[in-house]
């Protein structure tokens, strides 16, 4: 859908501003943004507790009413769109043949679809692995394995074993194209829903994730979101377009690349620090091969999402301390017991917000730790490999993001603190010597938590979404 800009008012109804209601159904709060898409302007925003106990649309109605009252002009809601991470988000299991090849490709595909990857399985599926798969109850299984024209027998054997367990979830088949339809037919014959997508790794060392990613998103909309029992009516499922993390990744891609009518910012990283996890999203131009440097066996895609499940400000706080104890102790100037109590309290009180300066400062240090280590893991590393067969070789693992010119922070810690830029700068300054993280990047903050809303809006009108981000984040091309 495209919205005209600068339409003249006619009737009384035309005097109302036509807006899109962009909702984010979270596990705790439901956020609503009212956006004038023609002008790329945020008119109002509000939130209400997510009404998991009753009907998700109750919380949405409360947030929408509050946002409508907050708007300075009368509004007419022309369209309602939503992203959702309520009810556990999108839970996916990835299956492949080789752990660091097709299984890793399947995992990255699921992450780029905005999923929570509950389990990764590789090799021949035995009874223990199948028991583990059934125990995690994934909503979607991404079934990969074999390059096109390559391994087929083990792929089909794994499909037969999956079919024997009669999984409750939907299966996206993205394996060796020669046997993909046959594998999907086996699953369908067992009563398991399945869709064939393009192979996530059609050739050794080549990722092709878009087809499977799109199939996962279709399955999320067609088979998952309506079956979570979150709302009695059809409106909720009709509003939802994608999982929340996928919307943030889409906004990252849009900001970096732009549209046919508007230029992008160039290579970009977005860091989202949460209570339990820290997500990093990046989009970069295709990398040219560097002379004398050996590339990764499985090159990362240009648009990349990683999730660090052990780094967060609340449930993830113990992981931050485990990864960064010395720095946190030195910067906090607190004793070991005081730090232990601070981390324990945060773990037990996920909704707690610090009110005094010392506790807020400790949260800031945890945020620096989350960002530092999430960036380190997201970005590549340059290592020196020695062998008896020849001279030492430089080997690159992961993406080379040293020349990225801009890093943005999004999420609650950045939206609700005044020192978000400090958090990002501290994390970037702690860049390890062999890290391929940005060397000299500008930093910015999504203070209004708009990236997810803009990624959602981009599903209808990318130009309107980019106008919104440029205006509200005060961004110009580097």
pLDDT value at residue 4: 55
Looking at the fold, whether 140 and 272 belong to one and the same domain comes out as no
Last residue in a domain, options 24, 54, 84 = 84
Domain CATH number, residue 188: 3.40.50.2300
Beta strands at 268-273 and 406-410: parallel, antiparallel or unpaired: parallel
- Per-residue pLDDT band for 290 (boundaries 50, 70, 90) equals confident
Distances (CA, A) of 200 to 173, 279, 286, 458: 10, 22, 18, 25
In a domain, 241, yes or no: no
Looking at the fold, whether 273 and 298 belong to one and the same domain comes out as yes
Question: What is the Cα–Cα distance from 174 to 158, expressed in whole angstroms?
Answer: 13
Last residue in a domain, options 63, 84, 105 = 84
Looking at the fold, whether 216 and 292 belong to one and the same domain comes out as no
Q: Assess whether pLDDT exceeds 50 at residue 248.
A: yes
Question: What is the Cα–Cα distance from 78 to 55, expressed in whole angstroms?
Answer: 23
Q: Assess whether pLDDT exceeds 70 at residue 7.
A: no
Distances (CA, A) of 190 to 29, 139, 159: 39, 17, 11
- Per-residue pLDDT band for 33 (boundaries 50, 70, 90) equals very high
Q: What are residue 305's phi and psi, to 5 degrees? A: -125, 130
pLDDT > 90 in the chain, percent: 84
Judge whether 273 and 312 are in contact, CB under 8 Å.
Answer: yes
Question: What is the Cα–Cα distance from 193 to 185, expressed in whole angstroms?
Answer: 10
Mean pLDDT of 40-55: 95
Question: What is the Cα–Cα distance from 244 to 86, expressed in whole angstroms?
Answer: 9
Looking at the fold, whether 277 and 221 belong to one and the same domain comes out as no
In a domain, 354, yes or no: no
pLDDT value at residue 122: 98
pLDDT value at residue 10: 43
Looking at the fold, whether 122 and 208 belong to one and the same domain comes out as yes
Q: Assess whether pLDDT exceeds 80 at residue 52.
A: yes
Judge whether 225 and 241 are in contact, CB under 8 Å.
Answer: no
* Lowest pLDDT segment from 12-26, 27-41, 297-311: 12-26
In a domain, 95, yes or no: yes
In a domain, 339, yes or no: no
pLDDT value at residue 287: 72
Looking at the fold, whether 220 and 271 belong to one and the same domain comes out as no
Max alpha carbon distance in the chain (Å)? 82
What's the structural domain count of the chain?
3
- Tens digits of per-residue pLDDT, 340-367? 999 999 999 988 989 889 999 999 999 9
Question: In sequence order, what are the residues at sequence separation of 6 or more whose Cβ sits closer than 8 angstroms to the Cβ of residue 211?
Answer: 174, 197, 198
Residue carrying structure tokens 């020196």: 384
User: Which residues constitute the domain of residue 58?
Assistant: 13-84
Looking at the fold, whether 99 and 63 belong to one and the same domain comes out as no
Per-residue DSSP letter, 436: -
Looking at the fold, whether 106 and 77 belong to one and the same domain comes out as no
Arithmetic mean of pLDDT over the chain: 93
Looking at the fold, whether 48 and 148 belong to one and the same domain comes out as no
In a domain, 352, yes or no: no
Question: What is the Cα–Cα distance from 129 to 152, expressed in whole angstroms?
Answer: 20
Question: What is the Cα–Cα distance from 26 to 125, expressed in whole angstroms?
Answer: 34
- Per-residue pLDDT band for 288 (boundaries 50, 70, 90) equals low
Domain CATH number, residue 401: 3.30.420.40
Looking at the fold, whether 95 and 177 belong to one and the same domain comes out as yes
In a domain, 345, yes or no: no
Looking at the fold, whether 190 and 255 belong to one and the same domain comes out as no
Judge whether 348 and 404 are in contact, CB under 8 Å.
Answer: no
pLDDT value at residue 137: 96
Q: What are residue 46's phi and psi, to 5 degrees? A: -155, 165
Looking at the fold, whether 407 and 274 belong to one and the same domain comes out as yes
In a domain, 240, yes or no: no
- Tens digits of per-residue pLDDT, 83-137? 999 888 999 999 999 999 999 999 999 999 999 999 999 999 999 999 999 999 9
Last residue in a domain, options 84, 103, 136 = 84
pLDDT value at residue 1: 62
In a domain, 324, yes or no: no
């Amino acid at each position: 859908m495209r919205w005209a800009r600068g339409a003249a008012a006619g009737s009384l109804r035309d005097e109302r501003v036509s807006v899109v209601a962009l909702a984010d159904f979270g596990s705790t709060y439901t956020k609503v943004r009212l956006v004038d898409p023609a002008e790329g302007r945020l008119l109002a925003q509000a939130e209400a507790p997510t009404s998991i106990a009753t009907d998700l649309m109750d919380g949405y109605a409360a947030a929408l009413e509050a946002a409508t009252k907050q708007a300075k002009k009368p509004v007419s809601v022309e369209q309602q769109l939503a992203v959702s991470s309520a009810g556990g988000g999108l839970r996916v299991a990835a299956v492949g043949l080789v752990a660091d090849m097709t299984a890793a490709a399947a995992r990255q595909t699921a992450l780029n679809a905005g999923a929570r990857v509950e389990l990764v399985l590789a090799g021949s599926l035995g009874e223990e692995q199948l028991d583990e798969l059934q125990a995690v109850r994934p909503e979607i299984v991404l079934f990969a394995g074999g390059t096109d024209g390559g391994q087929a027998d083990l792929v089909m054997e794994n499909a037969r074993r999956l079919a024997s367990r009669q999984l409750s979830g939907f299966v996206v088949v993205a394996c060796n194209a020669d046997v993909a339809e046959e594998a999907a037919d086996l699953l369908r014959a067992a009563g398991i829903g399945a869709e064939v997508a393009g192979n996530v790794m059609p050739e050794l060392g080549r990722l092709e994730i878009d087809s499977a990613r799109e199939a996962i998103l279709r399955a999320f909309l067609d088979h998952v979101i309506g079956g979570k029992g979150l709302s009695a009516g059809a409106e909720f499922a009709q509003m939802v377009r994608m999982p929340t993390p996928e919307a943030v990744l889409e906004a990252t891609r849009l900001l970096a690349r732009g549209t046919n009518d508007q230029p992008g910012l160039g290579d970009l990283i977005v860091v989202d620090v949460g209570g339990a996890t820290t997500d990093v999203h990046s989009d970069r131009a295709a990398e040219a091969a560097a002379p004398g440097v050996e590339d990764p066996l499985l090159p990362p895609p240009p648009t990349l999402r990683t999730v660090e499940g052990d780094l967060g400000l609340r449930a993830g706080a113990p992981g931050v301390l485990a990864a960064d104890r010395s720095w946190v102790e030195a910067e906090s100037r607190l004793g070991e017991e005081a730090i232990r109590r601070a981390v324990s309290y945060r773990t037990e009180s996920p909704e707690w917000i610090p009110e005094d300066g010392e506790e807020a400062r400790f949260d800031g240090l945890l945020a620096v730790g989350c960002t530092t280590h999430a960036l380190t893991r997201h970005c590549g590393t340059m290592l020196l490999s020695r062998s008896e067969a020849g001279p030492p070789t430089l080997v690159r693992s992961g993406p080379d993001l040293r020349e990225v010119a801009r890093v943005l922070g999004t999420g609650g810690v950045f939206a609700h603190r005044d020192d978000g830029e400090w958090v990002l700068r501290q994390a970037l300054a702690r860049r390890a010597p062999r890290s391929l993280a940005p060397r000299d990047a500008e930093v910015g903050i999504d203070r209004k938590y708009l990236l997810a809303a803009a990624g959602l809006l981009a599903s209808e009108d990318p130009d309107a979404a980019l106008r919104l981000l440029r205006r509200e984040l005060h961004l110009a091309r580097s």
